[in-house]
Structure 1
């Protein structure tokens, strides 16, 4: 089961509240809070689309650029020992640390996502 939905380059979560009897979610990968809900799947998707469209309209009206999710840069916290080992491995293989991390992530996700 896929617990995400996509629209205009934005990805949102799909959750269900048994207590309230509603589906709900929020756009992930950006700082702005864009949330939506619905009593069924169609309503949830419609509200998600409307929420994203409203966000884009507000950005345009305020003259600001809408945030883009997953721009390709992120910070990772690891132990100093692992950081050193990865840096030395990359150096000894004449690749950048960024390239080493990118390849490691690709290898891990190869069968699952990409």
Structure 2
């Protein structure tokens, strides 16, 4: 499933049975920015409006907006696991980064 994106930001959207509408937040930033809509079209428009408003508000306050995910992940694993996966990557002729990316992509598609 591909997330809804706009200007480099991704939306996290859920359905609220209590409110009988879709409720969303900008994902991957520490600031809390929410939006809602009754249909896919409405939630998409509300998401775009929320991102635009967030960026405008940050500019007006002269504060840099939170950046979405950078693509860099720091993962701590045991030395034994590190050694095993490094050997697997070497045996496959790929970098440890490429092996980790493959594993993460596989997990994300599940």
Q: Normalization by structure 1: what TM-score?
A: 0.71
Gaps of 5+ in 2: none
Gaps of 5+ in 1: none
Of the structure 1 ranges 41-50 and 71-80, higher mean CA displacement relative to structure 2 is found in: 71-80
Q: CA RMSD in A?
A: 3.0
Q: In structure 2, what is the equivalent of residue 58 of structure 1?
A: 57
Q: In structure 1, what is the equivalent of residue 4 of structure 2?
A: 5
Aligned residue runs from structure 1 range 1-114, under 5 A: 2=1, 4-86=3-85, 99-106=95-102, 109=105
| Count of paired positions | 108
Q: Normalization by structure 2: what TM-score?
A: 0.74
CA contact (8 A) 1:3 1:13 kept: no
